[in-house]
Structure 1
Amino acid sequence: MSSPQQARAQASAITSGRTAAEAGPAPTSQLRQLFDGPRLSPGQRRIAQYLIENITEAAFLSITDLAERVGVSQPSVTRFASAMGFSGYPALREKLQSIALSTLAGAPGAPAEDQGNELQSAVDAEIENLENLRRDFGDPDQVIRIGRALSLSTPLTVLGLRISCSLAEYFAYAARRIHPDVRLVTRGGSVAYDAILQSREAGGSWMLAFAMPRHAQETLTAVRVARSAGLKVALVTDLALGPLKDEADAAFVVGTGSRLVFDSYAAPVVMSAALLQAMTDADPERTQARLEDYEQIAEEHQFFLKD
């Protein structure tokens, strides 16, 4: 089993006699570009994080040693290599070694990459997602139009399965303050079908669905059930292409943060708040009346702590 000292020695031996590499993207940037392409599972992201943080050693580890360092199985490392588009771990390791060597053979005195740590990098990625969303809001017509349609749908169905459940719960919680009948669906299968069909029979016309990675097959099925029942579907997702977007009557594509083991959802939450704002603006009198009634009840029953 290779030790860190042995890995460094091997790296030094390989780089012995090499001339300084030409200036190019910093190794950390190269790795992030490599890993940002495919959609990785949480377990695979652990491997990616370890490689980013320990590239000069990890690039020369055997598959057994790498799996042990990360705390995953050898097949997990093999699947990670396949997910990255490589024929296997040896091909991935060859690519990693070329990146590592650019670090070890860099020109003396070259400025170190100032990219911050992994948590700061995750925040930077979310800032980029929010900047993209801000540009999309330059033309708010679709948000306003769909917000009005959701406001008019009584009842209004909100769907969010698996990881998307939290976004659906946030939206539904707020929407209930301004809408008389919001029906939240967070369980798939026949339970979801019953709720969707009952909502349509009660007069509903729209369903808002959240679909974030990893995208559940049951979400696609539920969307198709809603469409077949006569409901129109508005979709908040990170997918610019695919069957989910194809099935929706309206789609809002927003980026998710994928730099950490589990995704973060700054942009989808802002999109949800924008749709809620559009719903309030669609019927300001109803909104004001319901908010005042709720505040009265909250005060009477002391729902909240005093500031």
Structure 2
Amino acid sequence: MSSGQQARAQAAAITPGGKSPDHERAPGERVRALFDGHRLSPGQRRIAQYLIDHLTEAAFLSITELAERAGVSQPSVTRFAVSLGFSGYPALRDALQPIALSAVAGSPGGSGQFRHNALQAAVDAEIENLQNLRRLLADTDQALDIGRELAGSVPLTVLGLRISVSLAEYFAYAARRIHPDVRLVTRGGSVAYDALLQSRAAGGTWMLAYAMPRHAKETLGALRAARSVGLRTALITDPTLGPLADAADVTLTAGTGSRLVFDSYAAPGMLSAALLQAMADADPERTQARLEGYEQVADQHGFFL
């Protein structure tokens, strides 16, 4: 059974008592259940959000009308339906229409409540990601071990390409306050390879890499290049893993928020802060000296308000 068939079966299943297992769930949550577990592109998320926000109307639109309303092409709608495991848009529409009819029957406001709760649902998903990370960090040994290794690598290379650049920049900015030589790499290909060669030649032993969805091929190339020049690699990525994890020496995962058009990174950001703490604790004397020195420079030059 395909994932689309499973989703339709879950949405339409009837218990012996005559009620759907998710009878008490809001229609908006039942629609989201069709999308959960699928990695959607930003364009596909626009379609998904339009369906959630306008369910009672959108479930009965033609593919041409839906594409126009969502601001995408007709082939994009077809690819969206197929990515969910449906044979095409008509099959997806067949799954949506019973949910839409239940929304009309049960709520005079129709789909208005979906718009009201969409952002809250995204926050709830991020809270769940943080709770999962909290469980992961219950055993601190791995984070502390990686922190010691990163602290001892001079220079320390931090890699982040495409959407992962912001997380890598955050980590590198903070790490420079407590580490003497942090080298940030935000370009792939031969530029990254050159930076890795230089880092290894200068005595570096580790690279920390970020790989958030959608995973860039260049990140996989950089991980393999790091291994080829003798650098060990720690990877922070989402739980989908894949070939990136095989190319890294150590992998730490944190869920990304995928309810909105673009991902959010509360859990990866928190994991980054935990590794920074582990680095700071690995060499407390160096950490204290560097932080105090930086504060003196900041006061002298008036860096902050």
TM over 0.5: yes
Q: 3-state DSSP class of the match of 2:81?
A: helix
Which residue pairs with 1:86 in the alignment?
Answer: 86
Q: Is the 8 A contact 1:115 1:121 kept in 2?
A: no
AA partner of residue 193 (structure 2)? Y
Q: 3-state DSSP class of the match of 1:123?
A: helix
Which residue pairs with 1:6 in the alignment?
Answer: none
Following TM superposition, by how much is the alpha carbon of 1:107 offset from its aligned partner in structure 2, in angstroms? 9.6
Which residue pairs with 1:123 in the alignment?
Answer: 123
Which residue pairs with 2:148 in the alignment?
Answer: 148
Which residue pairs with 1:235 in the alignment?
Answer: 235
Aligned-pair Cα RMSD in Å: 1.9
Q: 3-state DSSP class of the match of 2:164?
A: helix
Q: Is the 8 A contact 2:235 2:245 kept in 1?
A: yes
AA partner of residue 161 (structure 2)? L
Which residue pairs with 2:193 in the alignment?
Answer: 193
> How far apart, in 2, do the equivalents of 1:220 and 1:84 lie?
26
Q: Is the 8 A contact 1:155 1:182 kept in 2?
A: yes
> How far apart, in 2, do the equivalents of 1:129 and 1:116 lie?
22
Q: Is the 8 A contact 1:67 1:73 kept in 2?
A: yes
Bigger Cα displacement from structure 2, 24-33 vs 62-71: 24-33
Q: Is the 8 A contact 2:257 2:265 kept in 1?
A: yes
C-alpha distance 221-107 of structure 1, shift in aligned 2 (>3 A): closer
Which residue pairs with 1:296 in the alignment?
Answer: 296
> How far apart, in 2, do the equivalents of 1:187 and 1:113 lie?
43
Which residue pairs with 1:213 in the alignment?
Answer: 213
Tell me the TM-score normalized by structure 1: 0.88
Q: Deviations over 1:118-149 (max 9, x none)?
A: 11111111111111111111101100000000
Following TM superposition, by how much is the alpha carbon of 1:246 offset from its aligned partner in structure 2, in angstroms? 1.3
Following TM superposition, by how much is the alpha carbon of 1:36 offset from its aligned partner in structure 2, in angstroms? 1.6
Q: Deviations over 1:12-45 (max 9, x none)?
A: xxxxxxxx96535331111111112210000100
Bigger Cα displacement from structure 2, 281-290 vs 90-99: 90-99
Following TM superposition, by how much is the alpha carbon of 1:241 offset from its aligned partner in structure 2, in angstroms? 3.2
Which residue pairs with 1:5 in the alignment?
Answer: none
Bigger Cα displacement from structure 2, 92-101 vs 201-210: 92-101
Q: Is the 8 A contact 1:21 1:102 kept in 2?
A: no
Alignment of 1:95-174 (within 5 A): 95-106=95-106, 117-174=117-174
Q: 3-state DSSP class of the match of 1:117?
A: helix
AA partner of residue 160 (structure 1)? G
Following TM superposition, by how much is the alpha carbon of 1:304 offset from its aligned partner in structure 2, in angstroms? 0.7
Q: Is the 8 A contact 2:52 2:114 kept in 1?
A: no
AA partner of residue 138 (structure 2)? G
Rg: which structure is higher?
A: 1
Q: Is the 8 A contact 1:26 1:113 kept in 2?
A: no
> How far apart, in 2, do the equivalents of 1:241 and 1:253 lie?
8
AA partner of residue 243 (structure 2)? P
Q: 3-state DSSP class of the match of 1:273?
A: helix
> How far apart, in 1, do the equivalents of 2:44 and 2:283 lie?
46
* Corresponding position: 1:77 with 2:77: yes
Q: Is the 8 A contact 1:159 1:168 kept in 2?
A: yes
Which residue pairs with 1:66 in the alignment?
Answer: 66
Tell me the TM-score normalized by structure 2: 0.89
Q: Structure 1: give runs of 5+ residues left out of the alignment.
A: 1-19
Q: 3-state DSSP class of the match of 1:85?
A: coil
Q: Deviations over 1:213-240 (max 9, x none)?
A: 1100000000000011111110000034
> How far apart, in 2, do the equivalents of 1:212 and 1:247 lie?
15
